[in-house]
Structure 1
């Protein structure tokens, strides 16, 4: 037997013996545990709303919002089947509330965002205050807050749910409780949060009790106006067009501690320069049409479509006409841990 074969046999024997002590040799997996750069095991994907919507509506005839608690079709990454994840750290799904329905009150440690995709007039209630939702609104449900949803309009309401479910699961920090009634008691007039916190001013003696924003509805009308103002102020960023991030007015940080949220305007005919970053990002198309090149894939998109770009994948957006994209990612967590990186050349 050669010296090399003898050495390999000795190593295998050694690995078997230490395996009995629940130990393993680092040198056999170091290249996978500490890679030279991100190598995501999930992939870019696209959900065409015209194809998705009929299934959403069909789900409304199969189960009620009350029976389901939350009637949602999960946007599951094709490379992570059975995981209920769109990226390893994020969950996304499309929720349907039909006229007259209520999604019953509950609370959980997972933080949630709602981005309104279709319809207007339904409400969400958070800790005793309701807000009426319109297309393009960004609504937050902070960790461990009571929340329910109801649709008093005459049309179906659909929104994108984004949650940090995989992150909370990784820490084994998940708790949940159902409310005593389907709808929580309303204890504050509609608009209370806006009046207190959304004008660039804060009540003089108010001190934040948590990291999430005290505003829980960021209306699209206000966001769109801000984007239009930014577009008048100068040239677009080569990699982003005109892009803004939503903020917690008390800290300047993200409205939700675990998820960053953004809105960007792409002028008609604009193509972004190649860009990549370490936060895998979920996109919802608010206005316009175009395409995105993500790695070696090309996705054509239009209003209400959704797509995901994996960590460190090169991304280029091309707008046919003026387009607006909402997006969310785990960037705040990465920034807190000094892990976040970007590459504005996309090499």
Structure 2
């Protein structure tokens, strides 16, 4: 490779003066910044990280004693990626947090441009209501709140309920397209029978190899009981992939595509002793362990996980899973948005 000729002192000074004049007019020379703008491979500032539930849960309960769900509007501890602290993001495109609602509380109804998912971590007796339809929450359930739909949460049970929130807030804010609006009352009136969407759409999963396009989803819940049954059936009747184990994609029943235009969600079963081959993809992925114990290696760093732990794999870092016991992992990423823009890549 031919080496670049070192400019003379006079040329360096002339360039420095020129760049100063450019800066005064809010311009900059592309040749000085191109290597950082157009990288040969993804170069995320995000870092691999894990949040062990046993260490975060006491902080959630402390928050429950310090502020009510009504005062906070949403009592959430945000999971901030250590590489980009201060911006309330777990990846460059996604927000994630753990939300707590205590017995007898209601998180007031509001709506916003960002789409949201809820993955229930702990507890029984809570519900989420979206545009007049209420859905009961059970551990392992995956529940959608589509963009610009009024939603509130309540806990009519006797124990704390915690779920993982995933939102596309960073994508919405990238486009400067954020809107939000309170409903005006704490709870919205119910206009549909509870569970109507569940009865209409069933489990709504597909084997991950049958990926397709994406449209916005209607309001519904993917119950973990049916999800687990689908995983067990596939594990018994199909091959176990050497990278993902048995992996399924949550789908929009109306289109067969992703449940939200910007966020895809997946669930996978890893049999005891499974040691997966590495894979890397351009979509940074947030994982939550549902069952079992294991280790995931991300970019050379190993993270031991157990039930309810959350961890993140940034873009284009090699990821491989090892299962100590039969295990289930839930995950979500911005894959639909990347696919819609023709950007998504994956390599084994």
For the 8 Å contact 1:197–1:215, the answer to whether it is kept is no
Determine the structure 2 residue equivalent to 1:94: 98
For structure 1, list consecutive stretches of 5 or more residues without a partner in the other structure.
201-209
Determine the structure 1 residue equivalent to 2:48: 44
TM-score by length of 2: 0.94
Aligned residues: 334
For the 8 Å contact 2:291–2:307, the answer to whether it is kept is yes
Determine the structure 1 residue equivalent to 2:163: 159
Cα 1:235–1:198 shift into 2, 3 Å? closer
Determine the structure 2 residue equivalent to 1:206: none
For the 8 Å contact 1:129–1:190, the answer to whether it is kept is yes
For the 8 Å contact 1:215–1:248, the answer to whether it is kept is no
Q: For each residue in 1:26-67, what CA deviation from the matched residue of structure 2 results, as whole angstroms up to 9, or x when unmatched?
A: 011111111110111110000011111111111000000000
For the 8 Å contact 1:268–1:321, the answer to whether it is kept is yes
Residue 83 of structure 2 corresponds to residue 84 of structure 1 = no
Q: 1:188 aligns with which of 180, 192, 200?
A: 192
TM-score by length of 1: 0.94
Q: 2:154 aligns with which of 144, 150, 155?
A: 150
Determine the structure 1 residue equivalent to 2:36: 32
Shift of 1:19: 1.6
Q: For each residue in 1:236-284, what CA deviation from the matched residue of structure 2 results, as whole angstroms up to 9, or x when unmatched?
A: 1111000000000111111111100000000001011011100000000
* SS in structure 1 of the partner of residue 83 of structure 2: helix
Partner Cα separation in structure 2 for residue 198 and residue 240 of structure 1: 24
Please show how residues 269-284 of structure 1 align to structure 2 within 5 Å: 269-284=273-288
Shift of 1:199: 7.7
For structure 2, list consecutive stretches of 5 or more residues without a partner in the other structure.
1-5, 205-213
Partner Cα separation in structure 2 for residue 197 and residue 301 of structure 1: 32
CA RMSD of aligned residues (A): 1.3
For the 8 Å contact 2:203–2:226, the answer to whether it is kept is no
Cα 1:15–1:150 shift into 2, 3 Å? same
Partner Cα separation in structure 2 for residue 25 and residue 67 of structure 1: 49
Determine the structure 1 residue equivalent to 2:183: 179
Partner Cα separation in structure 2 for residue 151 and residue 263 of structure 1: 26
Partner Cα separation in structure 2 for residue 214 and residue 300 of structure 1: 36
Residue 180 of structure 2 corresponds to residue 169 of structure 1 = no
